[in-house]
Structure 1
């Protein structure tokens, strides 16, 4: 369980060595639940810099290794998102989804499989994960609708979203609506008459659907957590910004691609990529917004989206 700390300021981080402490070094490695050295070092450097700059005061920082598999088996999620709280020497590795991408039939395919991410990028509407530096911003909570939990009882899905602000290649995170949230949504939504609901529209209808937990699936480029993990992480970030570093960045991807193209093992050149996923994807690719956004714009022009229609009226059970 994550401990929500209440340090009054970042003094504990000021003057800390750039080298991770010994207790944290013990979590470094390629095994399940461990963090790769390059991911930890970059995440820690980002956090300490933002603390020194006065941008964050949280006692905890976060990292994600998007080169690791999303799941080890159908029933076991891969742990590749890290919660690090040096003040109380706590380290936790949990699951997180990667961006799905798209297969634009007949034009270009930058879709990702469920287990490993091959494609990365920062184009708007690409649904791709972008590696790099982020600072968490405001938390927005919105009503999504109702869903059935038993034959006699319904529940409300209210989902919180933590906005990320980035820099460099992640600078358009706010334009892309990139952030963190629970991996739950409503599918098959219809409109149900419920005029007494505080969420009813002007006609007395509320959205009603089937709750879907996609913790083992992909995201729209956001960082998605299991509902139970989200309930612990999001309160840590509310009104208390911190840093999130996501690996890999575009230059990491390019370097791995060049190594693979010449038949070299990335590790022989001091490069890191999870070996299991690299074997599966063969070589990763970064899609820049400059290169991909014109393609996406052309695809939208050639395939206009139909005007939105209201959800159908729910059939009575």
Structure 2
């Protein structure tokens, strides 16, 4: 493993690995996990490298088999409640983290993978008049401590793919047709280099591999940073102290981009989001148009 430990691209930072391994060992000892592999994510690293590639920051570690793999993974987009609170994140680096409902923020900390559910997300056109169905699997995460509300927040992992720009196409033979015989048809959008609603998102091929690893065989996921890390980093940045000399870690390129990270605790943010929702009620849903394609 030594060759994989470090802060360079393709490596895992020591504190991230230490905590991920400690969580895994504890859950194995408790009997919660029997999987030979475990996961980690460093959400301080960049996701979108601005060259058409996604940055590696999600790790699959199988010590018995001596395998280590790093893949891309999206972070929570956050939200900008205009005039009230701005906790939105850019594509490349995450500045804002939190565990509030409806915040779309990533919450660092400890998780165990739960059940996997697969759902139909719509049809998309693949060629000519041929359509394919997007069936997306979702791994539920269960957290503890600051991430204890992961299930309530519907936090988990899935492929970074969605069907957008939907219209309704007549297809009564489809098993997914509504009672009037229509199915949703749109464009397949893959956003592996983008952001999520707070979940961990992967490319479709990576998602398939990860889902197969944890099917009926839960394991641990540790996501860095936690709120205490963010507070310590913010304090060090404000005082001009060196992170490494202070025993702290944050990806250097992302810290330059974001300035000072911030954690938004649910106790503070949820009332703000709830009030904003009351003051800005969602517009009534518009009927989905009918498709003008064969």
Q: Which TM-score band (shorter chain)? A: over 0.9
Taking the aligned partners of 2:177 and 2:94, their CA distance within structure 1 comes to: 40
Runs of 4+ in structure 1 off by over 6 angstroms are: none
Taking the aligned partners of 2:49 and 2:198, their CA distance within structure 1 comes to: 21
Report deviation, 1:25.
Answer: 2.0
Report deviation, 1:314.
Answer: 1.3
After superposition, give the CA deviation of every residue in 1:271-308 in whole Å (9 maximum; x if it has no partner).
Answer: 00000000110110000000100110111000101233
Find out whether 1:205 has 2:177 as its counterpart: no
Find out whether 1:72 has 2:49 as its counterpart: yes
RMSD, matched Cα: 0.9
Report deviation, 1:316.
Answer: 2.9
Correspondent of 2:280 among 281, 287, 303: 303
Aligned position for 1:131: 108
Report deviation, 1:266.
Answer: 1.4
* The structure with more strand, counted as a fraction of residues: 2
After superposition, give the CA deviation of every residue in 1:106-152 in whole Å (9 maximum; x if it has no partner).
Answer: 11110000000000000000000000000000000001111000113
Taking the aligned partners of 1:237 and 1:316, their CA distance within structure 2 comes to: 40
Correspondent of 2:138 among 144, 161, 181: 161
Q: Is the 8 A contact 2:107 2:226 kept in 1?
A: yes
TM-score (norm 1): 0.91
Taking the aligned partners of 1:148 and 1:221, their CA distance within structure 2 comes to: 28
TM-score (norm 2): 0.98
Taking the aligned partners of 1:136 and 1:275, their CA distance within structure 2 comes to: 30
Aligned position for 1:259: 236
Report deviation, 1:313.
Answer: 1.3
Find out whether 1:219 has 2:196 as its counterpart: yes
Aligned ranges for residues 233-312 of structure 1 at < 5 Å? 233-312=210-289
Q: Is the 8 A contact 2:48 2:194 kept in 1?
A: no
Higher relative contact order, structure no. (Cα contacts within 8 Å, ≥ 6 residues apart): 2
Aligned position for 2:154: 177
Aligned position for 1:61: 38
